[in-house]
Amino acid sequence: MIKKEVIYNGNEKQFFATDDPDKVIIRYKDVAVAFNNVKRARFEGKGELSNKISALLLGYLRDCGIRNHFIERVGDNEQLCRRIEILPIEVIVRNRVAGSLAARLGIEEGLKPDNLIVELRYNDDELDDPFINRDLAVALGLVSYAEIDGIVAEAKKANEVLKDLFHRIGIELVDVKLEFGRATDNGEIILSDEVSPDTSRLWDEQTGERLDKDRFRLDLSDVVASYRNVYERLTTVLKEN
């Protein structure tokens, strides 16, 4: 696979064209951003760890029947993926109340309801990613009702698979943000983007220690060490791909 020009330069990831029009190489940078890009910092080694973790998790999800854009890891910081027209919808699945949900409702972080909470947000930095619902997703012309229902069902399935996997390594999956898009080769809607400590909350089951991007958001230090901890635990149960 020949890596060609940059087609999109994001805050934390860079996308390269390849000699196959339906495949891209995604490079994970040593950068963290938070609070709608207000907070930003460089962390040596974070890109490699996020790439490796995301590759392990997307590969595992694929093995569990959750189709996604990941094909293979092609370097420490890079992975080959199917090219996707990403839908501007963030699907957040919450197993426990934390983060912006706790702040918004004035609830202390940690409440664990019996049901799952699914939130949909319209991915638009200028609007600060406003909440939408399935009617709005259809009204905005982004998806059909059948498609958004399929996306939410797939997100819930992915959450279950990831929750069980993390539990095997002593980590609780508190929440996860998932993005979907249409593959350019056949138009199917599949899971894409990344799944990593940047896009999920991961709490150590024994100590409650945060092993995710909240370490950066909340100035807790040891960001890279926490990501390495997650990666090393994952490699005890998953094979590199």
**Count of Cβ atoms closer than 10 Å to residue 207 Cβ:** 9
Nearest residue (CB) to ligand C5P, 18 versus 196: 196
Between residues 59 and 197, which has the closer beta carbon with respect to ligand C5P? 197
Minimum CB–partner distance for residue 32 and ligand C5P (Å): 11
Query: Which residue's C-beta sits nearest to ligand C5P?
Result: 99
What residue has token string 């997100």? Answer: 155
- Which residues, 165 to 194, sit near ligand C5P by CB under 6 A? 175-177
Selected from 200, 224, 229, 230, the binder of ligand C5P by CB under 6 A is 200
Helix (H, G, I), strand (E, B) or coil at 116: coil
Sign of CA dihedral 223, 230, 29, 121: negative
Whole-number minimum distance, CB 214 to ligand C5P, in Å?
A: 7
Least distance to ligand C5P, CB of residue 122, Å: 12
Give the separation between CA 125 and CA 241, rounded to whole angstroms: 33
77 scored as a contact of ligand C5P (CB under 6 A): no
To ligand C5P, the closest distance from the beta carbon of 187 in angstroms equals 26
Q: Show the site string, 94-113: x = touches ligand C5P by CB under 6 A, - = not.
A: ----xxxx------------
How big is the site for ligand C5P, counted in residues (CB under 6 A)?
A: 12
Is residue 52 within the footprint of ligand C5P (CB under 6 A)?
no
Q: Answer yes or no whether residue 213 interacts with ligand C5P by CB under 6 A.
A: yes
Say whether residue 199 binds ligand C5P (CB under 6 A).
Answer: yes
User: Minimum distance between the CB of residue 205 and ligand C5P, rounded to whole angstroms?
Assistant: 17
Instruction: Determine if 202 is a binding residue for ligand C5P (CB under 6 A).
Output: no
The answer for residues whose C-beta is within 8 angstroms of residue 220's C-beta and 6 or more apart is 210, 214
Take residue 188 and report the two structure tokens written for it: 């199917």
| Measured distance CA(78)–CA(138) in Å, rounded | 34
Q: Which is nearer to ligand C5P, 74 or 234 (CB)?
A: 234
d(CA 158, CA 139): 26
Q: Which of 11, 14, 36 is nearest to 27 (CA)?
A: 14
Among residues 129, 113, 111, 109, the alpha carbon closest in space to that of 121 is found at: 129
Name which of 134, 154, 152 is nearest 144 in CA terms: 134
Please report how close the Cβ of residue 19 comes to ligand C5P at its closest, in angstroms. 31
Q: State the residue for tokens 């059948």.
A: 146
The one-character DSSP state at 210 is: B
In the complex, what is the shortest distance from the CB of residue 121 to ligand C5P, in angstroms, rounded to a whole number? Answer: 8
The residue from 92, 171, 189, 223 that contacts ligand C5P (CB under 6 A) is 92
**Could you give the CA distance from residue 122 to residue 92 in angstroms, rounded to a whole number?**
11
Residues making contact with ligand C5P (CB under 6 A): 92, 98-101, 175-177, 199-201, 213
